Amino acid sequence: MYKNSIIYIAGHKGMVGNAIWRTLNAKGYTNLVGASSKDLDLRNQKAVMDFIQKTKPDVIIDAAAKVGGILANKNFPYQFLMENMQIQNNLIDIAHRSAVEKFIFLGSSCIYPKLAPQPLKEEYLLTAPLEPTNEWYALAKISGVKACEAIRKQFEKDFVSLMPTNLYGTHDNFDLNSSHVLPAMIRKFHEAKQNNNAVVVLWGTGTPLREFLFVDDMAAAVVFALENQLPDYLYNVGTGQDLSIKELAAMVQKIVGHTGEIIWDDTKPDGTPRKLMNVSKMNAIGWKHQVNLEDGIQKTYTWFLENIQNFKQKNY
C-alpha cells in the first residue's frame, strides 16, 4: 500500500470512519476520499457506481451502516435488515466490478449465535440461532461477510472482514433513543449529575458480560489490515476482556462524578448473556489493542463535555 493510494472510507463521518480517517491522515496517507450521506446515498446503486467510477479508489473501507441499540433494532427491523444490505451490497459488488485492489468490510460481534461458546471464535459463525434483539442487523452483516468470502474464494481478491466487539469513543452517538449502552450511560449519568445527582434508571439486570474496544484501537486494526495481506477472510477485533454491565455502570458513574442512586429496570431485556471475542487470530498476526477501558471512557467523556452543545439535553 502506498501513501498516495486512493482510499475511499464509506461512512467517514461516523464514529468508526472518522477514527479511521484521522489514523490514516496521521500516518501520512494523502488521498483519502469520503462523501457524506447528503452527497451520496449508499442505498442507491447507480449513485454508488457513478461515485466509484469518478473517484477510482484503490481501496474501499466499508465503515458505513445503519446502527443502533436494542430499542432501535426492535422498532425498525426492516430498515436494519434492508438498508444495511443495500449499503454493503452496492459497495461490495461495485468494488468487485471495478479496479478496487482491496476491500475491508466492518461488521459486528452480533453476527455470532446468541448462546455460542465463549469467547467467540470466527468458526462459530452460522452454527446456531442469533440473538433476537439484533438479528436483523446481524443477518445483514453476515450476508456481507459471506459476500466478501465468496469474492475472495472465487476471484482471489483481497476482500477481508473485520468483526469488532462493542465500540465506543469520541464522535459516538449519544442519542438516548438510538445509542449503545456505553455512550447512553455517559449521557444519563452526566445529566443526572447536573440534576442534583438524580436517580439513574438502567435497562435489565446488569448481569450480562460485555467487552468494549476504544474506537482508535479499531482504526488501528483497519490500518493493519490495509497495510498487510491477511491470510484469512474473517477476523475478530477486540480486547479479549469483558466485565458485567453493573461493573461498567460503576466505572462510568465514577468517571462522570455522579453520586446518586442506580436503579436496574429488570422488565427490560438484557440481550445476550455474554459476548466476548476470541481475538487470538488478530493477535497472532501482529495486532493488539492499546487503550484500557477506564482510560478510553475518560477520553470519551472529555470529548462529550467538549461537544456537549451539539447534544439535545433531556428535560426533567
Grid coordinates given for 203 = 435497562
Distance CA 95, CA 45 (A): 12
Contacts of 163 (CB under 8 A, 6+ apart): 106, 107, 108, 109, 111, 122, 145, 234, 235, 236, 237, 277
Helix (H), strand (E) at residue 8:
strand 7-10
**108 labeled binding residue:** yes
Give exposure, 284-304, as e/b (b: 16+ Cβ within 10 Å): eeebebebebeebbebbbeeb
Residue tagged 461477510 (cell numbers): 145
**187 labeled binding residue:** no
**270 labeled binding residue:** yes
Count of beta carbons in the 10 Å neighbourhood of residue 133? 19
**109 labeled binding residue:** yes
**12 labeled binding residue:** yes
**188 labeled binding residue:** yes
**259 labeled binding residue:** no
The verdict on whether 137 is a catalytic residue reads yes
The catalytic residue among 112, 137, 233, 235 is: 137
Specify burial of residue 128 (Cβ count, 10 A radius: 0-12, 13-18, 19+). Answer: exposed
| Helix, strand, coil percentages in the chain from 3-state DSSP, rounded to 5 | 45, 15, 40
Give exposure, 68-86, as e/b (b: 16+ Cβ within 10 Å): bbbbbbeebeeebbebbbb
Distance CA 306, CA 312 (A): 14
Whether 170 and 13 have beta carbons less than 8 Å apart is answered as no
Which is it for the CA torsion 110, 116, 119, 121, positive or negative? Answer: negative
Amino acid residing at 75: N
**How many Cα atoms are found within 13 Å in the side-chain-facing hemisphere of 137?**
22
Whether 125 and 145 have beta carbons less than 8 Å apart is answered as yes
Query: Would you name the residues annotated as active-site residues?
Result: 137
Q: Residues comprising the binding site? A: 11-17, 106-109, 141, 164-167, 180, 188, 203, 210, 270
Q: Binding site for substrate, residues?
A: 188, 203, 210, 270
Q: Which residues are annotated as a binding site for NADP(+)?
A: 11-17, 106-109, 141, 164-167, 180
